[in-house]
A and B are shown apart, each in its own frame.
Chain A
């Protein structure tokens, strides 16, 4: 299809065309990805091979200093007038050796089994055996340390090769002073980023890898360190959660996933359109007391959700304010099952979420609406467009263009909207038809919370965590690529 043909399509047809071409691109994308993967793997092994050859050649061609440096890191640098580098290499090697022999080795050695010495009793005194938790955690840490060591060792070897080369060519070495100047100057980015990188590694990367690995173990209430051991079980937890047999985890997972997506959809788009509507109404010329309306709405933001949501959930209880009032007025004869009937409970959480979500959207929309050039509306009016046409042709496209990324993040945010669900319904009502303590308003994230906090079922919780990640990533990538703000970046500039 040519550009001209595409432009002549109607709006829905364009979206349909975009979507179809996106679908068509998927197999291509997969093929492309696989090809890249194969190429990159090949490249990786080639690089690795080259590195190994280089190391061997360095040893073969090296003098005695270089050869000794293979064992004592930094020796070459020290001998070739670069004492600072040499000392740093040597210190690193010493620290690494100390770490490995006093701490790392025992954990690494048991990493394959996660410990095999059970806890025993000596009289009435407890003698703790292996702690699988620490073996897993410090095992990962040690593996990373070993990788860092191999890298540093490789740098050390390369330095020796260069050193020999420089000596042969009679070039000057960089002294300690120049090195120091360099990390404050052309290598300043490394200096600045060293600490943040270390922080991110310890507080983000390490825990994430730990949690991913837990999904492949049987870490639950029956295998609880320090008194019990846990061990690797492969893909078993994934098949428990995804298959439909067994303890029925599979059906429950699909049910919870379905509701999670449904909730995210309604919570995002209802809030979005109603919030925009409210903003448009307040912005309208001739509406008086604009500031007051906005203040009233913003009040819900001012009160912490922990307070307001708990209170509102009580209001909707069977003997709460709302049911009580309706019954006193004689509108209903028995309480409406706001929290006890699955469909009602789902409806109620979406409804209450509107109450807390609309004010935010109203604020955002107010700002953007004021930004739309007034001349667009003026000329539209001259051409005889009515309010709905103007909304569909000017306001909505503009809003969607500007808030597209926001919509996407809030959709993802709603998939993980723990607060609202947990404070309002705690995932209830439960049912005999659902397994694993899940309820009809449980999102994946609240189900995960219940599993870790009240059921100590870490293995399944870790699997859910991984699946939530995959789901959000897929949605993010698909939607992001379809978004007008990304595709037609210049439209409104």
Chain B
């Protein structure tokens, strides 16, 4: 019996020594969730990170493929079981902060992020003045792809629709998405933004949809939806008969294959005399709140590394994710990309996407579905105004 205790004691001492020895760096496990397309890339970069930081060389990093949308939902459902570092699109930021799934970015890292990334992406990772995530890409926006043999004048939506109708092709625009819809509203001069405090709560709304500008936008949308060439959708791989499509950089490869020599990309067209606007969007990397200081430091360091300029550029070269880092954006390889050039051209007319409540997206879908279902086709201006007023009022009920 004594022997047994002796062995036990010795074992305990060894364990405590081991954990003491590792207190400087971190040698536990860190779970990372990124989109499937960049899992291998992230694994390579994690190795590079370990090589560059001997303190963390013994850390076990598991990289799992979890898409940006799923990552946010999974984190919200089960914070404790979720990843320590995870990639997500910025529309999820408010939800994640409200659910307590994001740790504030460490001060020195935040200063670096602020300095090295474009202004839009820096604004997007903040709630109030507090930075909650590391910007990773600045390519989550949309612009126009078109078939050169069909569309003769890509600067004007009426002309595009006429060309598509003539050729029996379709113009794809996801009018029932709160994300794409803003192209019309913002373009016409209406706005809808929410003010957030530092804890992820939305405390104020600035909505001018129920105005002349909003009415103009809504009427344009109804007009476009009436065209026989109009097709609701924004996924190139689901589209069957593309004349033109409003889509983002993620579908560039699909469209290049599909359209071949006739592939072209440019900024969004004008409609009814105004330029279509919209959101500029971003992908980011977040760190979840930690109970262990050493692990938190390790996660901070890894997240900062994975979103640094060099890694962003490398990620562009592997997966064509457009960087948010200013230096990486100047790289010739990035500058040559046709889709990213179109996105950059559109950037002048967009506003950085701020924080929106989850309900906003379904509200916008509901409005879009009503337009597609032709419910508003024969409505008078007053009736349309009522719809917009109702929309603005409902959107205002989401603030606390």
**Interface residues of A, Cβ cutoff 8 Å to B:** 119, 123-128, 221-222, 224-228, 247, 314, 317-320, 324, 333-334, 337, 340-342, 428-434, 437, 439, 453-456
A127 shortest CB reach to chain B, Å:
7
- Whether A430 contacts B76 by the Cβ 8 Å rule is no
- Whether A127 contacts B291 by the Cβ 8 Å rule is yes
Known: A222-B98, A247-B397, A453-B73. A434 touches B79 (CB 8 A): no
- Whether A320 contacts B358 by the Cβ 8 Å rule is no
New contact pairs (8) apart from A226-B80, A317-B238, A431-B366, CB-CB < 8 Å: A119-B100, A319-B170, A341-B373, A428-B369, A430-B362, A432-B363, A437-B359, A454-B73
Task: State in angstroms the CA–CA spacing of A318 and B231 once bound together.
Answer: 7
CB neighbours (8 Å) of A226 from chain B are 79-80, 100
CB neighbours (8 Å) of B103 from chain A are 124, 126
- Whether B100 contacts A228 by the Cβ 8 Å rule is yes
B221 shortest CB reach to chain A, Å:
14
A142 shortest CB reach to chain B, Å:
21
A interface, over-half SS? loop
B204 interfacial by beta-carbon distance below 8 Å: no
CB neighbours (8 Å) of B369 from chain A are 340, 428-431, 439
Which residue of the partner chain A has the closest CB to B227?
Answer: A334
Q: Name the contact of B391 in the complex, choosing from A221, A337, A340, A432 (C-beta under 8 A).
A: A432
- Whether A227 contacts B99 by the Cβ 8 Å rule is yes
A355 shortest CB reach to chain B, Å:
22
- Whether B397 contacts A126 by the Cβ 8 Å rule is no
Q: Name the contact of A227 in the complex, choosing from B100, B228, B365, B366 (C-beta under 8 A).
A: B100
- Whether A337 contacts B373 by the Cβ 8 Å rule is yes
- Whether B290 contacts A126 by the Cβ 8 Å rule is yes
B13 interfacial by beta-carbon distance below 8 Å: no
Known: A125-B296, A227-B99. A319 touches B231 (CB 8 A): yes
Task: State in angstroms the CA–CA spacing of A333 and B228 once bound together.
Answer: 8
CB neighbours (8 Å) of B373 from chain A are 337, 340-342, 429, 431
Q: Name the contact of B296 in the complex, choosing from A124, A334, A431 (C-beta under 8 A).
A: A124
- Whether A221 contacts B358 by the Cβ 8 Å rule is yes
Q: Name the contact of B98 in the complex, choosing from A221, A324, A453 (C-beta under 8 A).
A: A221
B34 interfacial by beta-carbon distance below 8 Å: no
CB neighbours (8 Å) of B271 from chain A are none
B387 interfacial by beta-carbon distance below 8 Å: yes
Task: State in angstroms the CA–CA spacing of A437 and B366 once bound together.
Answer: 8
Q: Name the contact of B238 in the complex, choosing from A126, A221, A314, A453 (C-beta under 8 A).
A: A314
Known: A431-B370, A432-B370. A221 touches B99 (CB 8 A): yes
CB neighbours (8 Å) of B391 from chain A are 432
Q: Name the contact of B76 in the complex, choosing from A119, A128, A221 (C-beta under 8 A).
A: A221
CB neighbours (8 Å) of A433 from chain B are 366
Total interface residues in chain B, CB < 8 Å = 48
Task: State in angstroms the CA–CA spacing of A224 and B99 once bound together.
Answer: 6
CB neighbours (8 Å) of B397 from chain A are 247
B155 interfacial by beta-carbon distance below 8 Å: no
Which residue of the partner chain A has the closest CB to B375?
Answer: A431
Task: State in angstroms the CA–CA spacing of A247 and B394 once bound together.
Answer: 9
B346-400 CB contacts (< 8 Å) to partner A: 358-359, 362-363, 365-367, 369-370, 372-375, 387, 390-391, 394, 397, 400
A226 shortest CB reach to chain B, Å:
6
- Whether B290 contacts A337 by the Cβ 8 Å rule is no
Task: State in angstroms the CA–CA spacing of A268 and B308 once bound together.
Answer: 58
B293-344 CB contacts (< 8 Å) to partner A: 293, 296
B362 shortest CB reach to chain A, Å:
4
Task: State in angstroms the CA–CA spacing of A455 and B231 once bound together.
Answer: 28
Q: Name the contact of B394 in the complex, choosing from A221, A432, A456 (C-beta under 8 A).
A: A432
**Interface residues of B, Cβ cutoff 8 Å to A:** 73, 76-77, 79-80, 95, 98-101, 103-104, 106, 170, 176, 228, 231-233, 238-241, 289-293, 296, 358-359, 362-363, 365-367, 369-370, 372-375, 387, 390-391, 394, 397, 400
User: Which of B73, B292, B358, B366: most chain A CB closer than 10 A?
Assistant: B366
- Whether A337 contacts B293 by the Cβ 8 Å rule is no
Task: State in angstroms the CA–CA spacing of A433 and B98 once bound together.
Answer: 28
Known: A128-B291, A224-B100. A337 touches B374 (CB 8 A): yes
CB neighbours (8 Å) of A340 from chain B are 232, 369, 372-373
B233 shortest CB reach to chain A, Å:
8
- Whether B289 contacts A429 by the Cβ 8 Å rule is no
User: Which of B170, B293, B370, B394: most chain A CB closer than 10 A?
Assistant: B370
A432 shortest CB reach to chain B, Å:
5
CB neighbours (8 Å) of A428 from chain B are 369
- Whether A124 contacts B390 by the Cβ 8 Å rule is no
CB neighbours (8 Å) of B80 from chain A are 226
Task: State in angstroms the CA–CA spacing of A309 and B316 once bound together.
Answer: 37
- Whether A124 contacts B291 by the Cβ 8 Å rule is no
Task: State in angstroms the CA–CA spacing of A423 and B155 once bound together.
Answer: 38
Q: 4 tightest CB-CB pairs across the interface, nearest first?
A: A227-B100, A126-B289, A429-B369, A430-B366
A115 shortest CB reach to chain B, Å:
14
- Whether A124 contacts B240 by the Cβ 8 Å rule is no
CB neighbours (8 Å) of A228 from chain B are 99-100
User: Which of B231, B296, B362, B375: most chain A CB closer than 10 A?
Assistant: B362
Q: Name the contact of B79 in the complex, choosing from A124, A227, A319, A337 (C-beta under 8 A).
A: A227
- Whether B100 contacts A437 by the Cβ 8 Å rule is no
Task: State in angstroms the CA–CA spacing of A128 and B370 once bound together.
Answer: 45
Which residue of the partner chain A has the closest CB to B295?
Answer: A125
Task: State in angstroms the CA–CA spacing of A67 and B176 once bound together.
Answer: 75
Which residue of the partner chain A has the closest CB to B366?
Answer: A430
Task: State in angstroms the CA–CA spacing of A428 and B391 once bound together.
Answer: 19
Task: State in angstroms the CA–CA spacing of A337 and B373 once bound together.
Answer: 7
A246 shortest CB reach to chain B, Å:
10
The 27 listed contacts between A and B (C-beta, < 8 Å) are A124-B293, A125-B296, A128-B291, A221-B95, A222-B98, A224-B76, A226-B100, A227-B99, A227-B100, A227-B101, A320-B240, A340-B232, A340-B372, A341-B374, A342-B373, A428-B369, A429-B369, A429-B370, A430-B369, A431-B370, A431-B373, A432-B366, A432-B370, A437-B362, A455-B359, A456-B77, A456-B95
Q: Name the contact of A319 in the complex, choosing from B240, B292, B387 (C-beta under 8 A).
A: B240
- Whether A432 contacts B390 by the Cβ 8 Å rule is yes
- Whether B367 contacts A432 by the Cβ 8 Å rule is yes
Which residue of the partner chain B has the closest CB to A314?
Answer: B238
CB neighbours (8 Å) of A320 from chain B are 240
- Whether A455 contacts B358 by the Cβ 8 Å rule is yes
Task: State in angstroms the CA–CA spacing of A213 and B103 once bound together.
Answer: 31
Which residue of the partner chain A has the closest CB to B240?
Answer: A319
Known: A340-B373, A429-B372, A432-B387. A124 touches B76 (CB 8 A): no
CB neighbours (8 Å) of B291 from chain A are 125-128
User: Which of B170, B289, B293, B397: most chain A CB closer than 10 A?
Assistant: B289
Task: State in angstroms the CA–CA spacing of A464 and B291 once bound together.
Answer: 36
CB neighbours (8 Å) of B372 from chain A are 337, 340, 429
B84 shortest CB reach to chain A, Å:
12
CB neighbours (8 Å) of B228 from chain A are 333-334
